[in-house]
Amino acid sequence: MPADATAQAPESGAASPREKRSTGILPSQTIREMIAKGEIATTIPVIDGQIQPSSIDLRLGKKAYRVRASFLPGRGATVKQRLDTLSMHEIDLTEGAVLEKGCVYIAPLLESVSLPAKVSGTANPKSSTGRLDIFTRLITDYGTEFESVPEGYEGPLYSEISPRTFSVLARTGSRLNQLRFRRGNPVASDAAMRRLQDSVKLVHGQEADIKEGVAVSVDLTGDPETGLIGYKAKQHTGLIDIDRPGGYEIADFWEPLYRQKDRPAELVLDPDEFYILASKEYVSVPLDYAAEMRAYDTRVGEFRVHYAGFFDPGFGMPEAGGEATRGVLEVRSHDVPFVITDGQVVCRLVYEPLTEVPDKIYGAGGIGSNYQGQGLKLGKHFRNG
């Protein structure tokens, strides 16, 4: 059942259900209204488990297409028109199919949209998708940007899928990415984030560094007892079923990484290897805000952090069971080996307001939040992960 937003709202300035903003990220109750109005449409009814505090999970349709290369359709073409020239073969997903690592696929989604004026969308992989190193991006007809649904867009949605490390088994209804809706153009200013830091502690455990977002740094000191600092994905493994949580042993897919005693707390990232690490900071997202991790910034190094960039309202908040919640970092180096050191800034979180407190809060009300209160944690597919 959805959490009671009134009971969950903190005293530190979060909007009450009666205090609505005219612009901002749309909450779970507004997403339900969009479904009822047909602004989000599907041939198979949406289930409540798809609706997250500030986004909706998108489901794979009945087919996928193996394509020669990633693409954007551009202003003059639909995705289907581009598939007519780029598709190599069609794959039936109704009974499940293997999506092989290193290949690129385009899958029509069950959901389509008819957005009203001043409402746009931004997509990202789900957390569990990112932790499997599945590179997935949303595409629209006539699109000139990935992960973006323009204001007033009416039409189908597609997912580009490229498993990078593990081959995966997916099927109709599998959920790999999620879509967040935004009304207007709310300002995500550093001044607003500093005020939030003072009132609710967006990050703690480290001094807050707020400039073009809230800095997040990497923890390479490791567990005080075991010295574990992270995991490195193995290259030659078995298949992972997207819809089988808790089905796999960590040792079959991951190599644990430990801090070496009497050596600097640092790690060499090998090109095109995939790592799971943790932040030094404990991260919190107020109940009337959402956050997005800006994953790739060449100013801090040639590596990408965190494919799955959405942080829902309530993430890491004590009243939602999230006290002492770290950010998990999905890290891939590009082109050259790169040394990261303990405490190095690797990405930044940008916080945006919601139009109102959602009736679902991350980590509360039994909505199945897998990563509330997490430390260094692998995805939900792995036992004890």
pLDDT of 18 reads: 44
Cα separation, 120 vs 122, whole angstroms = 7
pLDDT of 319 reads: 77
pLDDT of 349 reads: 92
188 touches 351 (CB < 8 A): yes
Chain position carrying tokens 């040639």: 302
Question: What is the C-alpha end-to-end distance of the chain, expressed in Å?
Answer: 26
Amino acid at 234: K
3 touches 361 (CB < 8 A): yes
Amino acid at 85: T
| pLDDT per residue rounded down to tens, the chain (385 residues) | 233 333 333 333 344 444 789 999 999 999 999 999 999 999 899 999 999 999 999 999 999 999 999 999 999 999 999 999 999 999 999 999 999 999 999 999 999 999 999 999 999 999 899 999 999 999 999 999 999 999 999 999 999 999 999 999 999 999 999 999 999 998 789 999 999 999 999 999 889 999 999 999 999 999 888 999 999 999 999 999 999 999 999 999 999 999 988 888 999 999 989 999 999 999 999 999 999 987 655 555 555 666 557 889 998 888 777 677 888 899 988 878 989 999 999 888 999 999 999 998 876 655 556 666 567 889 999 986 4
DSSP character string of 348-364: EEEEEEBSS--SS-TTS
Judged on CB neighbours under 10 Å (0-12, 13-18, 19+), 109 is: buried
Contacts (Cβ under 8 Å, ≥6 apart) of 156: 79, 108, 109, 112, 140, 141
What is the torsion angle, in degrees rounded to the nearest 10, for the CA atoms of residue 26, residue 360, residue 201 and residue 280? Answer: -100
Task: Give the three-class secondary structure for 69.
Answer: coil
Contacts (Cβ under 8 Å, ≥6 apart) of 251: none
Cα separation, 178 vs 103, whole angstroms = 21
Query: Residue 64 is encoded by which pair of tokens?
Result: 């996928």
Which residue blocks in the chain are alpha helix, DSSP H?
5-8, 28-37, 79-86, 127-130, 190-200
113 touches 149 (CB < 8 A): yes
pLDDT of 188 reads: 81
Cα separation, 158 vs 267, whole angstroms = 37
Q: What burial letters (b/e) apply to 7-44, b meaning 16+ CB within 10 Å?
A: ebbbeeebbebeeeeeebbbbbbbbbebbeeebbbbee
Query: Residue 295 is encoded by which pair of tokens?
Result: 């994953």
Judged on CB neighbours under 10 Å (0-12, 13-18, 19+), 49 is: exposed
358 touches 313 (CB < 8 A): yes
pLDDT of 325 reads: 85
pLDDT of 297 reads: 58
Backbone angles phi, psi at 353, to 5 degrees: -75, 150
